[in-house]
């Protein structure tokens, strides 16, 4: 029997102050208890103790000069969590809230997510407390170059392959890749993913996380004899994941009625006009509040979290962690929500997830539902290795197949372990088993 409170006491002692990491570990432990009962050999081999301890954690100084010539110092991170099934793989997040606890929670979740994709990639994550908001392109470039000047020695196409995340998009990946190439004096395209199409990027990578989320939720709906037809959807965020989730959901005939950014949300009862959101967020890099200037019938409301007071059939939190707390969960349930699809990483608190499950709301957990991004990153690596580019359709079809397979894996694990319909537990178990088997085979390392 797993003594979860005891294990959590240890985790908190060994990782003080890292609340997001504690939360991520606790959520996984609760799902894995029946696995350890069935496989006591895993406990004996220390798989649990090892899987919650990163293989390597790197923290470094990132000095750079702003446009006024002032010296600025940020902190850089790379946590190489687990390489049992492949090289470390996971994004870089640039956001002022970043500290070791956030990078560790993301790296820990990445281990299970990457395993679920069925592709040979281990888990890692990195980033910085640098805030790209309000910085000039020059400042972004100087920061990225300084960041890579340290990071380059820890990464490689067969070692550790970073990608984007919050605050790291095509612009940042371009600057990071340029500096890596310059330092290494070698064109190692497979060292970063999310690259531009002119220098080794993959078609459909930009769309992959959002599209994949909508494919995964489609499978959940279908398993419950339902579809996107006549569904009203609320999406938090207006970044990479949110925008392409909105696009695919609209293609499937659903009506997306609201989106948000870190300041507030827009509500358009006639359906969000995505071209306007793309122009504001992808091109002008402005606030979502600008939307109502183009569409006066829509409403803008301050307060990002208030978006969850809207009535909807499907909620897709695609912004950041702990976006839906228990209060928001209760409001969503009272308003009749049927499915919650996690586009962001850990967007629901553990209490919110429990409340959804107790009230028969179907939950598509982040590790499974947003795995389309990293899966397509792995497809980008494959294309880099064989020095070929696949068409959009080819990549998108592979992404669709991967999401269907992830759903099947989570669904069948949930059934095998006596929790049918609990895709949260199913995804954790299916992701864990493959990593655990590989760790067993490789001995005590």
Q: List contacts with ligand NDP (CB under 6 A).
A: 95, 164-167, 209, 237-242, 261-263, 304, 318-320, 343-345, 370, 373
Residue (35 or 124) nearer to ligand NDP, CB: 124
Is 104 an active-site residue? no
CB of 64 to ligand NDP, least distance (A): 20
Beta-carbon count within 10 A of 281 CB: 22
Residue (28 or 48) nearer to ligand NDP, CB: 28
CB of 326 to ligand NDP, least distance (A): 18
To which residue do tokens 């965020």 refer?
237
Q: Whose CB is nearest to ligand NDP? A: 239
CB of 140 to ligand NDP, least distance (A): 13
CB of 305 to ligand NDP, least distance (A): 9
Rounded to whole angstroms, the Cα distance separating 14 from 28 reads 18
Please check whether residue 155 is in contact with residue 173, taking contact to mean a CB–CB distance below 8 angstroms. no
Rounded to whole angstroms, the Cα distance separating 117 from 146 reads 32
Rounded to whole angstroms, the Cα distance separating 58 from 40 reads 33
Structure tokens at 175: 């600057």
What distance lies between CA 2 and its chain's CA centroid?
Answer: 28
Active site residue: 89, 125, 206, 367, which one?
Answer: 125
Beta strands in 95-186 (DSSP E): 122-128, 160-163
- CB-based contacts of 269-273 (< 8 A; 24+ apart in sequence): 269/297, 269/298, 270/297, 272/246
Rounded to whole angstroms, the Cα distance separating 426 from 360 reads 16
Residue (47 or 132) nearer to ligand NDP, CB: 132
The secondary structure of 417-431 as a DSSP string is: TT-TT-HHHHHHHHH
What distance lies between CA 406 and its chain's CA centroid?
Answer: 15
Which residue blocks in 317-391 are alpha helix, DSSP H?
Answer: 326-334, 350-358, 366-369, 372-386
Residue 156 has what DSSP assignment? Answer: B
CB of 164 to ligand NDP, least distance (A): 6
CB of 290 to ligand NDP, least distance (A): 11
Please check whether residue 248 is in contact with residue 211, taking contact to mean a CB–CB distance below 8 angstroms. yes
Rounded to whole angstroms, the Cα distance separating 252 from 228 reads 6
Let me know if 261 is exposed, middle or buried by CB neighbors in 10 A (0-12, 13-18, 19+).
buried
CB of 238 to ligand NDP, least distance (A): 4
Q: Which residues are catalytic?
A: 125
């Amino acid at each position: 029997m797993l003594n979860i409170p005891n294990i959590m006491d240890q985790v908190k002692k060994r990782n003080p102050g890292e609340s997001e990491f504690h939360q991520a570990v606790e959520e996984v432990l609760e799902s894995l208890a029946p696995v350890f009962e069935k496989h006591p050999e895993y406990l004996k081999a220390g798989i649990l103790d090892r899987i919650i301890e990163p293989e390597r954690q790197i923290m470094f100084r990132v000095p750079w000069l702003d446009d006024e010539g002032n010296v600025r110092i940020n902190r850089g991170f790379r946590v190489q969590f687990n390489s049992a099934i492949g090289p470390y793989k996971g994004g870089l997040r640039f956001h002022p809230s970043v500290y070791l606890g956030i990078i560790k929670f993301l790296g820990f979740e990445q281990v299970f997510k990457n395993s679920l994709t069925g592709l040979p990639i281990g888990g890692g994550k990195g980033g910085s407390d640098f805030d790209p908001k309000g910085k000039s392109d020059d400042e972004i470039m100087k920061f990225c170059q300084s960041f890579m000047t340290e990071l380059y020695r820890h990464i490689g196409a067969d070692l550790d392959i970073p990608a984007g995340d919050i605050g790291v998009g095509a612009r940042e990946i371009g600057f990071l890749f340029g500096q890596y190439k310059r330092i290494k004096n070698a064109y190692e395209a497979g060292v970063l993913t999310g690259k531009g199409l002119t220098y080794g990027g993959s078609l459909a990578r930009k769309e992959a996380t959002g599209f994949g989320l909508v494919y995964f939720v489609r499978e959940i709906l279908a398993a419950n004899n339902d579809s996107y037809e006549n569904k009203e959807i609320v999406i938090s965020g207006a970044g990479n994941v949110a925008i392409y989730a909105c696009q695919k959901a609209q293609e499937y005939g659903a009506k997306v009625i609201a989106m948000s950014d870190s300041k507030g949300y827009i509500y358009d009862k006639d359906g969000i006009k995505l071209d306007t959101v793309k122009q504001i967020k992808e091109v002008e890099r402005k606030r979502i509040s600008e939307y109502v200037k183009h569409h006066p019938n829509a409403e803008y409301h301050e307060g990002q979290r208030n978006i969850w007071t809207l009535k909807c059939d499907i909620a897709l939190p695609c912004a950041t962690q702990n976006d839906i707390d228990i209060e928001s969960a209760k409001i969503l349930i009272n308003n009749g929500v049927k499915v919650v699809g996690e586009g962001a990483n850990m967007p629901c608190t553990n209490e919110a997830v429990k409340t959804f499950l107790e009230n028969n709301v179907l939950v598509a957990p982040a590790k499974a539902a947003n795995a389309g991004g990293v899966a397509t990153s792995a497809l980008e690596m494959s294309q880099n290795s064989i020095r070929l580019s696949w068409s959009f359709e080819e990549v998108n079809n592979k992404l669709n197949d991967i999401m269907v397979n992830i759903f099947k894996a989570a669904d069948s694990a949930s059934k095998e372990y006596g929790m049918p319909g609990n895709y949260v537990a199913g995804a954790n178990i299916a992701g864990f088993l493959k990593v655990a088997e590989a760790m067993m085979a490789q001995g005590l390392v």
